[in-house]
Amino acid sequence: MPMITTTSDLAEACSRLSRHAYVAVDTEFLRETTYWPKLCVAQLAGPDTAVIVDALAPGLDMTPFLDLMRDERVVKVFHAGRQDIEIIFRMGDFVPHPVFDTQVAAMVCGYGESISYDQLVQRILGDHIDKSSRFTDWTRRPLTEKQLAYALSDVTHLRNVYHNLAARLAEQGRADWVNDEMRVLTSRSTYDQRPEDAWERLKMRIRKPVDLVILKELAAWREREARARDVPRSRVMKDEAIYEIVGEQPSDVAGLGNLRSLSRGFERSRQGEEIIACVKRALATPKDQLPVIPKQKVTPEGALAAVDLLKVLLKLVSERHGVAVKVIATVDELEAIAVDDEANVPALSGWRRELFGNAALELKHGRLALTFDGKRVVTRVVENGAVANGR
């Protein structure tokens, strides 16, 4: 089972694949020691073609692959494709479109929350994936026949799963539901992350505005440093060190050297000096330019009980229609609905409103009741203060 290792063979394979309506895509990459994912192998499958590309082959130009990913006449099929798309975005500075994600489609079709690929293959196709090659070091060459077979089966199975789910969505009239979900996956902002926004991934309780400024400065500095050196963020500085620096606010390298979360001698490095510069810059922020710390969200009295009821209704709707709870509404959305009938949340728009949002508002205002029918929870319409027919 040879891999494609030349640009001419890749161009010929991508040309054949581009004649079809879709291509199943998977990638094998390494990220443990780098900031940017390093593409090692790419697998592609159309209705009658399946190939493996050695992305590390000397002299191989991946442009034909990127051209195929850029071709809007061809649907790109992934499973949990965010990291695969991130690799393509990094390589070509674009987001593939249109995209079909089988994990999202499976949630819409009733296969539960974030189902794994091997579970989906087993449930839809009845096949069992050999997981023994899952932890392969894909940078090593040569790859064994077993490893290549494992890599190729990922996209040949994916091709068949796609056919099954697409047919099921069409039969249920839910294809547009999946298309709605693809908007975030195919948005450039999902992958074009700014260092200035890196602080948002950190989990630290902020009490003072200046603490937030320091946190933003340090997180942005670490992000830029990790990118420049192409190493994981934790190799530059661990989250715990950022939290300690925010708390202690050292004013010089000697103060930095007293922190337990940093290795001995770190304060004497270039990075130590840059960190102190970040802290000083943050502390020098004029008071009128300090950010406002968002007040902790206070749930109005009685709203928690409403949220609990909405959770029951959501689970009921999820089971009745075979759609994963996660796709219909989040807990934050339920809290928003509990306090505001006009809340700007996905659950109150489009197909989600028809499926759940309208019923949620009816329940909230006492026009819908949750009752027991034997051992089952059912919904019943309330008319003139009395419970009527069940649903």
Beta strands per DSSP E along the chain: 22-30, 38-45, 50-54, 75-78, 99-101, 368-373, 376-383, 386-390
What is the location of CATH 1.10.150.80 in the chain? 195-289, 303-390
Cis bond upstream, residue 142 (ω within 30): yes
Q: pLDDT (tens digit, 9 = 90+) per residue, 129-170?
A: 887 787 889 999 999 999 999 999 999 999 999 999 999 999
The answer to whether residue 390 scores a pLDDT higher than 60 is no
pLDDT of residue 173: 95
Strands of the sheet containing 368-373, edge to edge, are 368-373, 376-383, 386-390
CATH superfamily of 195-289: HRDC domain (1.10.150.80)
pTM for this prediction = 0.88
Dist. CA 43–CA 23, nearest whole Å:
10
Q: pLDDT (tens digit, 9 = 90+) per residue, 72-98?
A: 999 999 999 999 999 999 999 999 999
Among 226, 223, 224, 231, which Cα is nearest to 200's? 223
Q: pLDDT (tens digit, 9 = 90+) per residue, 97-132?
A: 999 999 999 999 999 888 899 999 999 999 998 877
The SS3 call for residue 360 is: helix
Burial of residue 257, with CB atoms counted within 10 A of its CB: 0-12 exposed, 13-18 middle, 19 or more buried: middle
The tokens for 195 are 């260092």
Q: pLDDT (tens digit, 9 = 90+) per residue, 357-377?
A: 999 999 999 999 998 888 888
317: pLDDT confidence band, cut at 50, 70 and 90?
very high
Q: What is the mean pLDDT of residues 58-79?
A: 98
**Percent of all residues in the chain with a pLDDT value above 90, rounded to a whole number:** 85
pLDDT of residue 132: 79
The tokens for 315 are 């689970």
Domain 303-390 sits in CATH 1.10.150.80: yes
pLDDT of residue 133: 81
Q: Taking a C-beta distance cutoff of 8 angstroms, is the pair 387, 369 a contact?
A: yes
N-term to C-term CA, the chain: 56
Return the ∠ at Cα 287 (arms to 281 and 290), rounded to 5°. Answer: 70
Pick the CATH number of 7-190 from 3.40.50.300, 3.50.50.60, 3.30.1490.20, 3.30.420.10: 3.30.420.10
Q: pLDDT (tens digit, 9 = 90+) per residue, 213-228?
A: 999 999 999 999 999 9
Q: Taking a C-beta distance cutoff of 8 angstroms, is the pair 225, 235 a contact?
A: no
The tokens for 351 are 């197909």
